[in-house]
């Protein structure tokens, strides 16, 4: 009888099935635990610890490596620094200035300095600072007018 060990837990069964399919495509046997409980009532997901993706105990290290390669596990401690990019009216803000990818998103972060000034002066002005993030090259930037 094999000993099964949890590699990763997911909130939704769909996410767990995608990771399970990825591991099985690499030749590992997998099993999902608490999947049906979460499907019956999704509010139970946090109570039972989510849908657990399990592999055999002797495949654990290989499964971790495969999930890291596939992007399901992201190493912590990798901080991204927001870079300043000079822009003018001809700059295309819908592509990444580093890798020219269109797979970007816009971040809106709370500007603490603006919040403090807002409470002191009582004046209404934008309290968010915008930056962009490329999902392909993992860079983060903000546009500055030249």
Domain span at 54:
4-70
pLDDT at 83: 79
Q: What is the pLDDT along the chain (146 residues), one digit of tens a residue?
A: 679 999 999 999 999 999 999 999 999 999 999 999 999 988 888 889 999 999 999 999 999 999 999 888 877 555 567 777 877 777 887 888 888 888 888 877 666 776 676 777 776 666 566 788 888 887 888 877 75
Give yes or no: residues 105 and 139 share one domain.
yes
With a threshold of 0.75, does the pTM exceed it? no
Question: Per the domain annotation, does 75 fall within a domain?
Answer: no
Question: Per the domain annotation, does 88 fall within a domain?
Answer: yes
Give yes or no: residues 62 and 88 share one domain.
no
DSSP summary character for residue 123: -
Please count the structural domains in the chain. 2
pLDDT at 47: 87
Give yes or no: residues 54 and 102 share one domain.
no
Question: Per the domain annotation, does 27 fall within a domain?
Answer: yes
Give yes or no: residues 90 and 56 share one domain.
no
What is the rounded distance in angstroms from the CA atom of residue 39 to the CA atom of residue 30? 19
Give yes or no: residues 43 and 92 share one domain.
no
pLDDT at 59: 94
pLDDT at 131: 81
CATH number at residue 15: 3.30.70
Give yes or no: residues 61 and 94 share one domain.
no
Buried b (16+ CB within 10 A) or exposed e, 55-74: bbeebbeebeebbeeeebbe
Residue 112 is encoded by which pair of tokens? Answer: 């603490």
Domain ends where: 70, 92, 123? 70
């Amino acid at each position: 009888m094999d000993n099964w060990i949890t590699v990763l837990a997911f909130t939704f069964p769909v996410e767990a099935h995608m990771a399970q399919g990825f591991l099985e495509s690499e030749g590992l046997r997998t099993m999902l635990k608490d999947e049906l409980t979460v499907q019956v009532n999704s509010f139970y997901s946090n109570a039972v610890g989510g849908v657990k993706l399990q592999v055999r105990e002797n495949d654990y290290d290989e499964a971790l490596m495969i999930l890291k390669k596939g992007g399901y596990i992201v190493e912590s401690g990798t901080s991204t620094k927001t870079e300043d990019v000079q822009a003018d009216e001809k700059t295309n803000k819908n592509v990444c200035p580093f890798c020219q990818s269109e797979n970007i998103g816009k971040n809106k972060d709370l500007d603490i300095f603006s919040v403090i000034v807002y409470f002191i002066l009582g004046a209404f002005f934008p309290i968010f600072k915008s930056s962009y993030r490329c999902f392909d090259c993992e860079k983060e930037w903000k546009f500055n007018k030249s």
